[in-house]
Amino acid sequence: MKNVTPLIEEWLSQDIDEWTRRVVRRHFDPETGSPYWLERAAELAFDPRDITRYEDLTRFGPMSLGDLRTLDPADLVPLAVPRPLVGRIWESGGTTGSPCRVYYTEPMLEQRAAWRRWVIEKEGFEPGRSWLQASPTGPHLMGHGAWDLVDLYDARVYGIDFDPRWVKRMLRAGRLKDAQEYTDHLVGQMSAILETQPVDYIVTTPALFQALAKSRPDQVARLKGARLSGTHATPAMRRSFLEALDGGLLVVTYNNTFGNTVALPVEQDDLIPCVPNYPQVTMAVVDRDDWTRTVGYGEHGQVRLTVMHDDLFLPNILERDLAMRFDTGSEWPCDGVANARPLQVVRTAPEGIY
């Protein structure tokens, strides 16, 4: 197994203002910057290269999700990255409309994998085990995690097909019976593997794990652990999952296409805290009526996500999620979030099983 701890320690030691200057200047370099941001620079009332502090990123305003739905993802990648770009285009779940699309360069995928490798060992999952990954596949970045487990954790990984958009389409149309039928179909695929194969751990979404635990409690109780990733899990759900696993390891994280988090130890039964993959990903919890104002620790607000990779810069994404601002103390260089949940659940923006 690859030792990624030196990489994680290097990232966690980064000064966020210095990192901000590094990423902004790379993307706005007149010769080798990213086409999207160089075009945007002409519309801004300031020179982005004058940005010196992380707090100054609010000057860009909220990131336009409409742009992420229509532009060529290559335009977000600096010209310093050799063309033509070769690799996958990843998409969001499309909960609130057409999906957003981004391109991950190889260093970005390696960064994401290194965090995943470091985190699952820290969480207590054993290497060389068999996993069932029941997560969105196709264009969804979460599905790439199976290869991370194989390449960096000596795992053997089973998988199922999973298109979360079909369920959301059924829910928008009010076809609840059809949505439930698809969920049952996914649970059936998972159950067939768990019934016949030696699976130790499962990776899936909280909602789908909840459906599996309700339908196949005996199979869930035999698992050695579960790692649940998504955008919504309540403390009550977590308690029910622990009971269903019957002593198995449980980790619940808040993740999406743009940024992942590390699950922090649950020290209070009513809190599920996480911290982002710093410094490439940071999260702020802001006032719903003033996205520039960060709320106090312990207060709830909207999640504002900022992505600062060398090869992808997305400042001030206003997520469709509500969370509590969590004080990570001296152990981490940034704030955390806890108890993430949708700002609102309506038929036009259903959560489904994602």
pLDDT means per 10 residues, the chain with 354 residues, are 89 98 98 97 94 97 94 97 93 77 93 92 95 89 84 92 85 91 95 98 95 97 94 89 96 86 91 96 97 98 97 95 95 95 62 54
Rounded-to-integer distance, Cα 99 and Cα 353, Å: 16
Cβ neighbours of residue 2 under 8 Å, at least 6 residues apart?
Answer: 117, 152
Q: Three-state SS for 320?
A: strand
End-to-end Cα separation, the chain, in angstroms: 30
Rounded-to-integer distance, Cα 294 and Cα 285, Å: 6
Q: What is the pLDDT, as a whole number, of residue 347?
A: 46
153, 341 contact by CB (below 8 A): no
Rounded-to-integer distance, Cα 53 and Cα 296, Å: 21
Rounded-to-integer distance, Cα 244 and Cα 225, Å: 10
Whose structure tokens read 């100054």? 56
Q: What is the pLDDT, as a whole number, of residue 95?
A: 65
The enclosing H or E element of 175 equals none
Pairing of strands 101-103, 89-91: antiparallel
DSSP state of 100: P
Q: Exposed, middle or buried: residue 174 (CB in 10 Å: 0-12, 13-18, 19+)? A: exposed
Rounded-to-integer distance, Cα 42 and Cα 57, Å: 17
How many residues are given for the chain? 354
The 3-state secondary structure of 4-66 reads CHHHHHHHHCCCHHHHHHHHHHHHCCCCCCCHHHHHHHCCCCCCHHHCCCHHHHHHHCCCCHH
36, 28 contact by CB (below 8 A): no
Q: What is the pLDDT, as a whole number, of residue 124?
A: 94
Q: Exposed, middle or buried: residue 319 (CB in 10 Å: 0-12, 13-18, 19+)? A: buried
Q: Which of 116, 140, 127 lies closest to 205, judged by CA?
A: 140
Rounded-to-integer distance, Cα 325 and Cα 266, Å: 15
Can you say whether the dihedral through the CA atoms of 252, 318, 59, 296 is positive or negative?
negative
DSSP state of 82: P
Can you spell out the DSSP letters for 181-202? HHHHHHHHHHHHHHHHS---EE
Which two tokens mark 240?
A: 């029910």
Which two tokens mark 277?
A: 């993959």
